[in-house]
């Protein structure tokens, strides 16, 4: 099987590429550094020649503004059109639990549009909805911090190690398309406020965490359960503390 991974040099992408290659599949990583730009379509025709499966784990460089929506719109339109022309037989896309439910977030509105475009592309597909990566906690803090104070909702999340997500995506890439979505989440449900507070205490970050029910999450106000996975979600095995102790943030001193 010949597989192309868009965003193949990123956090999840390089993990997916390694798993697929280890399983014996011809796998190519594509990104701007290899001359493939999904936002303009540059390099896509050449990259897709002879490809059976496309795995799209590309991501917007911004989270909080309209640029995130525009990234997913342009990238999806260019990529899906090029796949249809190339005769790709399976499109696998990484998305986010909560997509379609939080229209106040430009980022999640962009992901929702991406899924609409995938469903109407005519290409057999599988969408993998993941909960927040443990690695994404840094971006959550960066988005919410003001004057060394982080205001966060008490909504539940069920964060997951990116390695567990990559495993599910790699399996989906070599399976039959389901023309629907599957979900992957971590083993433990936590409140957003609590896990970020623990994370910042563990890495000794000079920030205070304040509970605020009206604090926006990348532009959206959260209901308590909106970021939780379905009951049939695949659950990763790595808990937060195990991930932290093996991560680059272990024993950081600020």
Domains of the chain: 2-246 (3.40.50.720)
DSSP assignments along the chain, one per residue: -EEEEETTTSHHHHHHHHHHHHTT-EEEEESGGGT-BTTTTBTHHHHTTT-SEEEE----S-SSSHHHHHHHHHHHHHHHHHHHHHT-SEEEEEEETTTTT-TT-HHHHHHHHHHHHHHTSSS-EEEEEE--BGGGHHHHHHHHEETTEEEE---EE--B-HHHHHHHHHHHHHS---SEEEEEE-S--EEHHHHHHHHHHHTT-S-EEEE-TT--BTTBPPPTTTTPPPTT-EE-S--HHHHHHHSTTTT---
List the chain pLDDT tens, one digit each, 254 residues.
899 999 999 999 999 999 999 999 999 999 999 999 999 999 999 999 999 999 999 999 888 789 999 999 999 999 999 999 999 999 999 999 999 998 899 999 999 999 999 999 999 999 999 999 999 999 899 889 998 899 999 999 999 999 999 999 999 999 999 999 999 999 999 999 999 999 998 888 888 999 998 999 988 999 999 999 999 999 999 999 999 988 887 654 44
């Amino acid at each position: 099987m010949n597989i192309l991974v868009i965003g193949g040099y990123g956090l999840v992408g390089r993990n997916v590429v390694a798993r697929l290659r280890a399983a014996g599949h011809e796998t190519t990583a594509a990104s701007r550094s290899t001359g493939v730009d999904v936002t303009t379509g540059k390099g896509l025709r050449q990259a897709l020649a002879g490809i059976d499966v496309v795995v799209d784990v590309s991501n917007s460089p911004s989270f909080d503004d309209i640029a995130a929506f525009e990234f997913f719109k342009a990238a999806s339109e260019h990529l899906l059109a090029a796949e249809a022309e190339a005769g790709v037989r399976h499109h696998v896309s990484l998305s986010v639990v909560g997509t379609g439910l939080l229209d106040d977030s430009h980022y999640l509105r962009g992901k929702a549009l991406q899924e609409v475009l995938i469903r109407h592309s005519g290409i057999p597909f599988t969408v993998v909805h993941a909960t927040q990566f443990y690695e994404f906690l840094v971006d959550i803090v960066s988005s919410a911090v003001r004057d060394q104070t982080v205001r966060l909702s008490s909504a539940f999340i069920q964060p997951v190690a990116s390695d567990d997500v990559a495993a599910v995506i790699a399996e989906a890439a070599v399976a039959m398309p389901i023309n629907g979505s599957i979900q992957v989440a971590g083993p433990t449900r936590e409140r957003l406020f609590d896990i970020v507070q623990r994370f910042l205490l563990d890495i000794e970050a000079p920030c205070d965490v304040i509970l605020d029910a009206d604090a926006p999450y990348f532009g959206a106000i959260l209901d308590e359960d909106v970021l939780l996975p379905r009951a049939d979600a695949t659950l990763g095995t790595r808990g937060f503390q195990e991930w932290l102790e093996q991560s680059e943030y272990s024993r950081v001193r600020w």
